[in-house]
Chain A
Amino acid sequence: NAGVTQTPKFQVLKTGQSMTLQCAQDMNHEYMSWYRQDPGMGLRLIHYSVGAGITDQGEVPNGYNVSRSTTEDFPLRLLSAAPSQTSVYFCASSPDRPPQPQHFGDGTRLSIL
């Protein structure tokens, strides 16, 4: 049982490039979310989804898009990478909405040059 799987684990991009961070879970969880973690700041919610076909914005959605075509997958797209998006990105899932405990993937470390 893999839990929450994120790919890639590391990525370096140039300003203006686009890319997709992948997230997949095999626990049949309805709720999935993306967070970013920056030094000196708590995890901040980017986007979340309460089920297939339903997504919504979190605290810091600008510059990111998401979709949820299946229960398992919740990719995060950076439309035009900026240095301010350099961060560690975590995908999380739970059977239902918070405050249910979140199961996190092991993160994607992204650097934008």
Chain B
Amino acid sequence: RKEVEQDPGPFNVPEGATVAFNCTYSNSASQSFFWYRQDCRKEPKLLMSVYSSGNEDGRFTAQLNRASQYISLLIRDSKLSDSATYLCVVNTGFQKLVFGTGTRLLVSP
């Protein structure tokens, strides 16, 4: 089993839609969680950290479910510019970051 698993998608949604991605992780001792965004043929960039109580940044909401070992990312009112690949990243301890393979989002007019 992979340490971090994501549905590769693509998720095709119209502008204005709400879309959610999940990411599961296998190491119950994982300590920190992040979502990165990667545009086509570009470098990954930090989108947001994921806190235990859940957190929101504008149209983006991240949640953590430690019992079921998954994190989620909800995007409201999708924009064309949200089209990208979203990487789930987990700190499994020992200063190690494990990157998921990413979920591709395509937002259409």
Contacts and interface: CB of A to CB of B under 8 A. Distances in A.
Contacts of B41: 107
A90 B34 CA distance: 18
B43 A98 contact: no
Contact of A42 (B46, B49, B96, B101): B101
B11 interface: no
Q: Is the interface of B mostly helix, strand, loop or mixed?
A: strand
A7 interface: no
Interface in A81-105: 90, 97-99, 101-102, 104-105
A44 B3 CA distance: 12
B21 to A, nearest CB: 15
A41 interface: yes
A40 B101 contact: yes
Given A101-B34, A104-B43, A104-B44, A41 B101 contact: yes
Interface string A31-48: 000010000111111000
Interface size grouping (class) on chain A: 10 to 19
Contacts of B8: 40
A101 B46 contact: yes
A106 interface: yes
B96 A98 contact: yes
B91 interface: yes
B69 interface: no
B4 interface: yes
B43 A90 contact: yes
Interface of B: 4, 8, 31-32, 34, 41-46, 49, 87, 91, 95-102
Interface of A: 35, 40-45, 90, 97-99, 101-102, 104-107
